[in-house]
Amino acid sequence: MLVASKNGVRVDARNAIRGEEHRCPACNAEVVLKRGRRVIAHFAHKPPVDCSWGKGETYAHRHSKALVADALKERGLNAEVEFVVETLMGDRRADVMTWHPDTGQAIAIELQHSTIDLDNLEARARAYASAGIAQFWIGFLTKNAKNKALPDGKNRWKIEQYSSQPFENWISGFNMGKGFWMYDPFEGCFWNCEFSDHHTWVVETTRCDEYGEEHYHGGYWRKSKRWKELTMSGPYDITNLKVKLFTRSKAFGTSRYWWPAGRGATFS
């Protein structure tokens, strides 16, 4: 984690003073400052780690949070990493919180570095919406996906057979089909992404029945349940991206997914 607490006050690992006592804001255990040339300054729990705030954090996740918050601050905006929102369930921290400079509208930026199940995701989305906080969900590109991407001849990259995670489908749906953003942890940049249906060719087959009659099957394209096509435009450097708000006027659900009404945010 990038932020710990010192006597109840938020301390950014970058500004923390070595030797002082820092505690985890969730479990109150003492945490250790890790800062050096090759690490993103952060705090670590001492093993054994029982606290969920001390588990599963990657360099890529830390880096993405710092990158986004720094870019916003660079522009004179107010931005905080790991900002606590009391009404969130589970991990109560928004990865990055920023505020619209004119209206003060709070915008939570969630850098979703690991899979999250739909129940948790939808509970989080609901909590943000009822708190009046705009939400901006960003996925993470995997090494495997990146290796499969090929140029499509129109300055975009395409993965013809992408096995999308349910939370990625949710993010795409939250943005109302207008594309969504993915963070590329290998280059430290962002891609504007879009899902479309993948079609597989069903090969024509002939079968002869017991009366010697031939039966034909296949010879057509079928929408794949397993794959989607992922088209990626970019890459974009964070310094060239602006946060833009949009409104979902109604909650919407399908048999599998549910999205709240409320404000969302994306890059433009």
Contacting residues toward Zn ion, per CB under 5 A? 24, 26-27, 51, 53-54
In the complex with Zn ion, which residue's Cβ is closer, 83 or 167? 83
In the complex with Zn ion, which residue's Cβ is closer, 55 or 178? 55
In the complex with Zn ion, which residue's Cβ is closer, 32 or 202? 32
In the complex with Zn ion, which residue's Cβ is closer, 55 or 223? 55
CB of 8 to Zn ion, least distance (A): 15
CB of 51 to Zn ion, least distance (A): 3
Can you read off the two tokens belonging to residue 38?
A: 């090759």
CB of 178 to Zn ion, least distance (A): 38
Please state, in angstroms and rounded to a whole number, the distance separating the CA atoms of residues 210 and 201. Answer: 28
CB of 13 to Zn ion, least distance (A): 14
Can you read off the two tokens belonging to residue 178?
A: 């207008």
CB of 224 to Zn ion, least distance (A): 43
Q: Are 241 and 251 in contact (CB under 8 A)?
A: no
Buried b (16+ CB within 10 A) or exposed e, 88-102: beeebbbbbbbbbee
What are the φ and ψ backbone dihedral angles of 154, each rounded to 5 degrees? -120, 35
The closest of 41, 51, 67, 78 to 239, measured between CA atoms, is: 67
* DSSP codes joined into one string, 57-91: --HHHHHHHHHHHHHHHHTT--EEEEEE-TT-SSS
In the complex with Zn ion, which residue's Cβ is closer, 65 or 263? 65
